[in-house]
Amino acid sequence: MRKRPPMNRGPGSTGPAASPGRILIIEDDPEAALFAMHVLGKRGHFDVTHTPDPAAAIGLAAAEHWDLVLTDMELPGMTLAELLDGLRRVAPGVPVAVLSAHVEIAELSQRAEAFLRKPVRIEQLIATVSALIGRTGK
């Protein structure tokens, strides 16, 4: 039996009812994950949950409602294309924003709604997330 990786609730999470949206963060770098959780939870007032494991994230996307998935481009155990395909299979309407230190890959640009280049500015992260969640009618 495979041990499930820890899921971290974001700092300042207020729960789905009081937040402007629920965000699932997939990031294997603890510092980058903490940054995104803090910015989106405290400053953006979003309800955020984090997992470093892309397979667990697909399971969460299938089991719960999310307004946005924010993922790193490079994750252990799964390519970005595999992750995006898995997310589209289980939660086709959920927008996905990709964070990367690399230039966006044209092949994947049609699979994600946004690409953000690391290091991302706080204002840019909050604005992008808010715009994507706003498009889904939250």
* 89: CATH: 3.40.50.2300
Domain presence at residue 20: yes
Position 1 scores a pLDDT of 37
Domain presence at residue 1: no
pTM of the model: 0.83
For 18-37, what is each residue's pLDDT tens digit?
A: 679 999 999 999 999 999 99
Domain presence at residue 96: yes
When divided into structural domains, the chain yields a total of 1
Answer whether 58's CB lies under 8 Å from 86's CB.
Answer: yes
d(CA 5, CA 107): 30
Domain presence at residue 47: yes
Structural domain boundaries enclosing 109: 16-135
Domain presence at residue 75: yes
Domain presence at residue 46: yes
d(CA 51, CA 4): 10
Which residue type is seen at 80? Answer: L
Domain presence at residue 95: yes
Domain presence at residue 79: yes
Asked if pLDDT for residue 14 goes beyond 80, the answer is no
